[in-house]
Structure 1
Amino acid sequence: MDIHLLEIFIQTAQEGSISKTAKKLNYAQSNVTHKIQQLEADLQTVLFYRHKKGVTLTPSGQVLVGYAEKILNTINEAKAAVGSRSIPSGPLVIGSMETTAAVRLPSVFAQYHLKYPNVDFSLVTGPTEKLLHGVLHYELHGAFVSGPIEHPDLTQDKVIEERLVLVTSPNHPRIQSIHDLQNHTMLVFPKGCSYRAKLNTLLQEEGLLPVKLMEFGTLETIIACVSAGMGITLLPYSIIADYEVRDKVTCHSLPEKYSSVTTMFVKRKDTLITPALSAFLDETKKEILQSQLHR
């Protein structure tokens, strides 16, 4: 089986379009079509349904995606293993929730880059759901997500326990009870965010419904809008402690059963621990431990 054909197949499956795949790979559209047809002929099955909006995986195509991702990842790992040296080098792609990346990881990234300049480090931020997808599909070497996570293909290590608080503008009345949230607008991250899921669980269990959910893509925007009195949000205290000190926001405690969230580092069980990844994990543990000791 031609590895190049598998690479084109995976790209087409991700794009859902022959034309988009051709544009991304800088190929002629007819060339991509021919490669897909060649792979289908080799496997004696149809991999895509063709329609006006693009292409969709057939059941056979869906099965092949999993195998193709494993094959391509194994090849990349083999290259890394054969070419690896004791000094960390090569690509390392790590995912993180935006809040963790903003508060907990800058010192980790700075120290890591200083010590291992030969590593081609990339950071991808997003909600937990998106990050888990990236890890499972070999797009990320690992990711910092909200846990615990239960998945047969993943391993997880606890990084830190966070205290969740409700965040309002400084002039908002003190929230004495969860039921004080009734009829308030809640500011949230896009779907897939663990904090948003936690908020939904809290509201549902307490029989509450917000008047409106307003969705924002960045932490800075949410905090600025909360500070301006647009609504209330739910975040780890470590994220907004400095804003409260500067009287930009006010924090309100939650009942104990809602107030805890754990950040985990997850990776696939079959992920090769390269020198670059091993050094990153060591640096993370050291920096997180030092930050806890200085609190």
Structure 2
Amino acid sequence: MRKVDLDDLHIFRSVVREGGVAKAAARLNRVPSNVTTRIKQLEDRLGVSLFRRQGRNLVITESGRILLGHAERLLKMADIAEQEVRSGMAAGVLRLGTLESTAGARLPPLLSAYHLQNPGMSIELQTGITDALLRMLERFEIDAAFVAEPFEKGRFSSLPVFEEELTLISAKGGPKIRNASDLSGQTIVVFPHGCSYRRRLVEWLAEEGVSPGRILEFGSYHAIVACVAAATGIGIISAELLERAVLGTAVQRHPLPARLRGNRTHLIWSDDPSPPLQALMALLPMLRNKRQMDMAA
């Protein structure tokens, strides 16, 4: 019996990505019956169902998810091999997820050095909150991600990259915030569910038996700082990011308890690091050294 080849995996991945046979066939410039036959042959060869019908839609099965992970890795390796052979230099694409705070405060010098030292490699950047980035990594939509504690570390390989300080912020001229009880009934301005900073704040309030008032969710730290500056509520943010925010001077800071103030950001990945990821990891000491120099300045 013929073994699974890269063409099989490419067709299978296309059906997953396009959400069905018809769209995958159009993308692959094949007739739908050919795509259907190839998927059926692949299922017969593996002895499992890769999709199941849900109404008019095809839904990937658990076996399909397992195969998808291997397909993504093998097809990526094939692309990298072809690019390197054609160009004569290390090549490839790194699909990198990152917190918005990391993208804004930490990554610019790192990405600049990456592109300078690795002209044959490129980075596709995707921002999101920690939980969203973890889901993207599980679905092989990204290759690695910068996420903040707390997160479930056992599922992925992880490398601590840098530490940061979290701070509460409120509009200037407002009362001081000295403990959790000062937030009772207050409007909290945070990222959506799944944000590590938000989780840390909510857990602190719950430990102290404090119930906030409304919770306003924003997808951008710029919006959070602007909302807080307008006296709409209380926020939590990276102190370093606040220094770079346009309205950073329009808010006042309130220190969190020492056990909550410090926070670490990790680089996480699920497989053996690809050459583009290895190239990025080689530059990570730059982040630590730059932070140390900034603190000493």
| TM exceeding 0.5 | yes
Contact 2:22–2:32 under 8 Å retained in 1: yes
Q: What residue is the counterpart of 2:42 in the other structure?
A: 39
Contact 2:105–2:244 under 8 Å retained in 1: no
Segments of structure 1 that go 5 or more residues without pairing to the other structure are: none
Q: What residue is the counterpart of 2:267 in the other structure?
A: 265
Contact 1:136–1:153 under 8 Å retained in 2: no
CA shift for structure 1 position 209:
2.2
CA shift for structure 1 position 172:
2.1
Measured against aligned partners, the alpha-carbon deviations of 1:36-83 in whole angstroms (never above 9, x if no partner) come to 3343344444333323352233xxx31232133124403423553683
Q: Tell me, in whole angstroms, the C-alpha distance in 1 between the residues paired with 2:55 and 2:285.
A: 50
Contact 1:153–1:269 under 8 Å retained in 2: no
Contact 1:149–1:156 under 8 Å retained in 2: no
Q: What residue is the counterpart of 2:197 in the other structure?
A: 195
CA shift for structure 1 position 18:
4.6
CA shift for structure 1 position 242:
4.5
Contact 1:97–1:128 under 8 Å retained in 2: yes
Distance 1:70 1:127, change over 3 A: same
Q: TM-score, normalised by structure 2?
A: 0.83
**Secondary structure at 1:124's aligned position in 2?**
strand
CA shift for structure 1 position 30:
5.2
Contact 1:146–1:262 under 8 Å retained in 2: yes
CA shift for structure 1 position 247:
2.7
Q: What residue is the counterpart of 1:154 in the other structure?
A: 156
Q: What residue is the counterpart of 1:213 in the other structure?
A: 215
CA shift for structure 1 position 165:
0.9
Measured against aligned partners, the alpha-carbon deviations of 1:227-278 in whole angstroms (never above 9, x if no partner) come to 1112111111111134599631111111112212111111224233x1x333
Written as runs of structure 1 = structure 2, the 5 A alignment for 1:25-104 is 32-52=35-55, 54-57=57-60, 61-77=61-77, 80=80, 83=84, 88-104=90-106
Q: Tell me, in whole angstroms, the C-alpha distance in 1 between the residues paired with 2:165 and 2:44.
A: 56
Q: Tell me, in whole angstroms, the C-alpha distance in 2 between the residues paired with 1:243 and 1:71.
A: 41
Distance 1:22 1:213, change over 3 A: farther
Q: Which moved more, 1:191-200 or 1:17-26?
A: 17-26
Q: Which moved more, 1:280-289 or 1:211-220?
A: 280-289
The answer to whether 1:115 aligns with 2:117 is yes
Q: What residue is the counterpart of 2:224 in the other structure?
A: 222
| Matching residue's letter, 2:121 | V
Q: Which moved more, 1:254-263 or 1:62-71?
A: 62-71
Q: Which moved more, 1:22-31 or 1:149-158?
A: 22-31
Q: Which moved more, 1:125-134 or 1:142-151?
A: 142-151
From 232, 235, 239, the equivalent of 2:234 is 232
Q: What residue is the counterpart of 2:279 in the other structure?
A: 279
Q: Tell me, in whole angstroms, the C-alpha distance in 1 between the residues paired with 2:171 and 2:290.
A: 32
Contact 1:3–1:72 under 8 Å retained in 2: no
The answer to whether 1:164 aligns with 2:166 is yes
CA shift for structure 1 position 6:
3.1
Q: Tell me, in whole angstroms, the C-alpha distance in 2 between the residues paired with 1:117 and 1:95.
A: 20
CA shift for structure 1 position 294:
2.5
The percentage of aligned residue pairs carrying the same residue is: 32
Q: Tell me, in whole angstroms, the C-alpha distance in 1 between the residues paired with 2:242 and 2:218.
A: 17
Contact 1:169–1:249 under 8 Å retained in 2: yes
How many correspondences in the alignment?
290
Q: Tell me, in whole angstroms, the C-alpha distance in 1 between the residues paired with 2:182 and 2:69.
A: 48
Q: Tell me, in whole angstroms, the C-alpha distance in 2 between the residues paired with 1:281 and 1:12.
A: 33
CA shift for structure 1 position 279:
2.9
| Matching residue's letter, 1:214 | L
Segments of structure 2 that go 5 or more residues without pairing to the other structure are: none
CA RMSD of aligned residues (A): 2.9
Distance 1:23 1:230, change over 3 A: farther
Q: Tell me, in whole angstroms, the C-alpha distance in 2 between the residues paired with 1:151 and 1:247.
A: 36
